[in-house]
């Protein structure tokens, strides 16, 4: 914890062999720009898959989809 209230999200680009963390508020813009400039708009870079799964789980929980 840094005391910064903008959470960071790990992103991965396997083609560039890049792993970095970006502020959540800039995530979409940074991914767009990376994919646009490096990969002709292909969605190569993205949120780290493990985290993306967790976010999906959390979102599902939030919506009550996992409530059986």
Residues that bind Zn ion (CB under 5 A): 13, 15-16, 38, 45
Cβ nearer to Zn ion, comparing 28 with 66: 28
Closest distance between Zn ion and the C-beta of residue 65, in Å? 32
Please say which residue, 2 or 21, places its beta carbon nearer to Zn ion. 21
Q: Where are the beta strands (DSSP E) in the chain?
A: 8-13, 18-23, 46-47
> In angstroms, what is the minimal distance from the CB of 4 to Zn ion?
25
Taking the C-alpha atoms of residue 31 and residue 54, their distance in angstroms, rounded to an integer, is 19
β-pairing verdict for 18-23 and 46-47: unpaired
């Amino acid at each position: 914890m840094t005391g910064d209230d903008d959470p960071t999200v790990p992103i991965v680009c396997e083609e560039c062999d890049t792993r970095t963390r970006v502020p959540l508020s800039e995530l979409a813009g940074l991914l767009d720009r990376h994919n646009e400039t490096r990969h002709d708009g292909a969605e190569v870079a993205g949120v780290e898959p493990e985290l993306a799964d967790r976010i999906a789980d959390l979102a599902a929980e939030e919506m009550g989809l996992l409530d059986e």
